[in-house]
A and B are shown apart, each in its own frame.
Chain A
Amino acid sequence: NAGVTQTPKFQVLKTGQSMTLQCAQDMNHNSMYWYRQDPGMGLRLIYYSASEGTTDKGEVPNGYNVSRLNKREFSLRLESAAPSQTSVYFCASSDQQGAGNTIYFGEGSWLTVV
């Protein structure tokens, strides 16, 4: 039972390089999310997709773009990486956007920008 799968798990980028984090879920969830986790700051929402075909900005969208490719897949792109984007990135999904819906997380992607 894979749940939420994200790749790559580790990546080192040079400033200015671009890359895409891939995410897929096999739970038939409607909503998907990208968070970043930084020490002492908890998780901050970068972008989310409430349903297939829609995407919206979260708290910290600058420097990122997303694509909801289909119901299963939600990718995060860094067009020109900056050291401030060094972080751990988590993809997540939930069944729908209701109040009580639990979020399911991937294992994380550790990104270092040098």
Chain B
Amino acid sequence: AQSVAQPEDQVNVAEGNPLTVKCTYSVSGNPYLFWYVQYPNRGLQFLLKYITGDNLVKGSYGFEAEFNKSQTSFHLKKPSALVSDSALYFCAVRVNTGGFKTIFGAGTRLFVKA
């Protein structure tokens, strides 16, 4: 079955420290990977995506993610966390099942403490 997993329900980090939000996937064929962020009482917003090419993808708000094919991972990273980064983060994979559809992970809540 094609799936995406976010192994941590919650990640806590101090402001100014680096942050990592983990994501692993299981798909047949080439993976098309996305990160979205959801702030309280809002819809999801696109952060970044990996389609092909460089394994390190840079996105909005200083976030980046590294595609690792051997580990089937696409972890989200930021060198220096801000309190305003506190939100719910979703990893997603787009798969072709006779038509493309997007599978979302369960989400990881990030708390950045001042």
Residues in A lying within 8 Å of B, measured CB to CB: 4, 35, 40-45, 48, 50, 56, 58, 90, 92, 97-108
CB-based nearest B residue for A102 = B46
CB-defined contacts of B46 to chain A, threshold 8 Å: 102-104
- Given A90-B44, A98-B100, A101-B100, 6 additional A-B pairs, CB 8 A: A40-B106, A42-B107, A99-B30, A100-B32, A100-B49, A107-B41
Which secondary structure dominates chain A's binding surface? loop
**CB contacts between A and B, total, < 8 Å:** 58
Structural contact, B32 and A50, CB atoms closer than 8 A? no
Structural contact, B101 and A48, CB atoms closer than 8 A? yes
CB-defined contacts of A42 to chain B, threshold 8 Å: 90, 104-107
CB-based nearest A residue for B101 = A45
- Known contacts A40-B106, A43-B104; A107 and B42 CB within 8 A of each other: yes
CB-based nearest A residue for B107 = A42
A-B contact pairs, 6 of them (CB 8 A): A48-B101, A90-B43, A99-B30, A103-B36, A105-B45, A107-B42
CB-based nearest B residue for A98 = B100
CB of B22 closer than 8 Å to a CB of A? no
Interface residues of B in 66-114 (CB under 8 A from A): 90, 94, 96, 99-102, 104-107
